[in-house]
Structure 1
Amino acid sequence: MNHRIQGIDRPTAPDPRGSGAPERTESKPTASPGVPRTTTPGPARPTPAQWGRTLAAGTVTGTVHLPRPQRTCPHAEAPLAPAGLPRRGTAPRTQPFPVQHLTDAWGGLLLLVDDDSPLHARLSALRTEDHRPGVPVVLDVLDVPPGQAVLPRARLSVTGWAEAILPADQRRVAQTAAAVRPLGALLDVGTTRSVWRLEVADVRVTTAEGVHLVPEEEFTTATPDPLYEDEDGLVTHLEAAHRDALVGWVLDTLPPHEAQRTREVAVVGADRYGLDVLVTVGAGTTVLRASFTTPVRGAGDVAGALCGLFGCPCREDGRRTHESA
């Protein structure tokens, strides 16, 4: 067998990609039309709000979309296409910029921007042009699974307004962000970097079950997944210390005729509720859910969770079971 492991209600922000007219959405999470609904409860998984809060924490870099500068003559972007055919070559209506996003101590979203970056220049220009304190933005954050062995599991899209923070308050806001996630770059706030506040109007989280509209209060109060930042390290620890136990669990879980045809086993996800295990059976693949007995609250709970799952002793010290991997 080849084994491999690897808020407050506010009006919806104007869409910077459109005419600026507000788009109203439902206030409760909904799935996209056509998404089949499960009638029987399955293994526990992160909720859309938990996925959104996990991606908002800033472990992976996000992309912020801002309105693109308008040309003098919009009709000069591309010639008109023949009747019935779409126009080609028209410029996108928004500009994408990579951004380090994070949260403050109350769950609010922040953007950490280099003062000499194109993003800072564009934010400042839009703020001056519109004569308004807030710049319409869309923050997009895509989940990155361990080893990128499978498609992204979730996507966060936040529509709102980027608002400049007064120079006198920059350091104070940076300190609240550092209390949540101590980034070295926060030490430069007030000198070469600045913090912008993202006032949220609309939160959407896309998972395999569809697109969910998450109320701001639910999004703000949800907690990030405690294993996400060190997920790659945990997967490495499973490869090094729990290989035999993991394979044994897979073989015990699959029906006998599928267990005999199993060729590869790979952990492709880990969260507070359990593991996602990709299994190659013959010419096909399937994902098994290995659920923990109780959700883990931090790295210190991982040892007991794995022992309960696999029924094996863990030789790590129980405080950070994957640090030595």
Structure 2
Amino acid sequence: MKKITSLIIFLFSISCFSQSVIEFIDSESKLPICGIYSTIYKNEDTFENCGGSNNKGFFKIRIKELDYQSKYYLQFNDNVNYKPIWKELNPNKKDTLRIYLERSRFFYDTSKEVLKSICGTYSFFGYTPREPTSLQDLPKFIQKNTIEYLKKRVGNSEFENFELIGGQIIDLKEFKKIKPKSNQKTAYYLCFSYRNIDAGISNYTSKIELDENGNIIKDIDFPIVEANSIQEKIVPLKLIIEKAQKRNFYKKEKTQFKMSYYASDNILVWKLVNETYNSDNTYLKEDLIFNAHNGNFIKLKSNKGQWVE
């Protein structure tokens, strides 16, 4: 009976993850951070679990079958306010793991109306890509090609306002072992954030795609900036809001702010979006669109439809 009890205790101990609670703390204010969404990986490329921190900054890890022959990692890079992390977890430690997140240079703690956006990621069923946290996570030649491309496209001065905040790295050889019929060409999805506080842009995000040799497959969603062109200037969001107010379109704390790239015109546009959901299950979405470089009105786009509960 004693041997059976000991065996049960042993099996229970190897099935539980000792370092199971993580506390996220702002490194400057020393206060807990709510809503930090992080991911747990096994051996860098296998998804284990994910979740967000509660209002006290805690995130509880759950791993179904702990494998002591494997390594487990915590990844966070979904919030441009803080620098991303990639940290190995220790299954033998029993204390709460405290993570002090450092504020990035894009941190903007204000109640002012500014644009904020994030890059989405792709799902590769059966394969979990590594997500870079900085340019240093990339091979040297990918770093070089990416930097040269960005400087050529946006200019040296505007380049300083860009920062890699995430993305996905695909090992095409490993990926094609899992998906032999795949014609996947992109090896690097790189999410860059552009910041221009004077223009009301806390962060505008878009991706560059490269193949495994460092060739550009998809351009960044940002204009080609040449000297003495309108692309050198961005009309501040506050002035666009004033234009929307004159049209009785702007609704404080309801109107959404978005930015898009029109490749055919090589311009960014400001979009102010209102969505109305009616009691009869109909909705109306309206986009008020302005040229972001000269402030000229482009169009009012309306979309009506029905929604199902």
TM-score under structure 1 normalisation? 0.28
Q: TM-score, normalised by structure 2?
A: 0.29
Q: Hey, which of these two has a bigger chunk of strand by percent?
A: 2
Structure with bigger RCO (C-alpha 8 Å, 6+ apart): 1
Structure with greater proportional helix content: 1
